[in-house]
Amino acid sequence: MLTDKQSLALCAFVFIGFSFFGILDLLNNYAISGTLLLCFILVIVNLIINKSSGESEDDVQD
């Protein structure tokens, strides 16, 4: 789904976004918190998909 570099960039965006908007007290805005939550869920889903596809590739090689 996403490459390692894209996943790291998205994690950095989520972390910086939560930090920046949290300091500015703008996390009450549903658009901002919804966007950051959607990016966070995308990272988690990407980890699950890559982990499961990596295990099936390891089974084929063994």
Assess if residue 57 is contained within a domain. Answer: no
Assess if residue 61 is contained within a domain. Answer: no
What's the structural domain count of the chain? Answer: 1
Assess if residue 28 is contained within a domain. Answer: yes
pLDDT in 10s for each residue of the chain, 62 residues: 888 899 999 999 999 999 999 999 999 999 999 999 999 999 999 989 888 876 766 555 65
Could you tell me if 39 and 30 are in contact, meaning their C-beta atoms sit under 8 angstroms apart?
no
pLDDT of residue 52: 83
Assess if residue 22 is contained within a domain. Answer: yes
pLDDT of residue 58: 58
Give me the domain span that covers residue 17: 4-52
Assess if residue 60 is contained within a domain. Answer: no
pTM for the full predicted model: 0.77
Assess if residue 37 is contained within a domain. Answer: yes
Assess if residue 13 is contained within a domain. Answer: yes
Q: By C-alpha distance, which of 41, 35, 4 is closest to 18?
A: 35
pLDDT of residue 3: 85
Assess if residue 47 is contained within a domain. Answer: yes
pLDDT of residue 4: 85
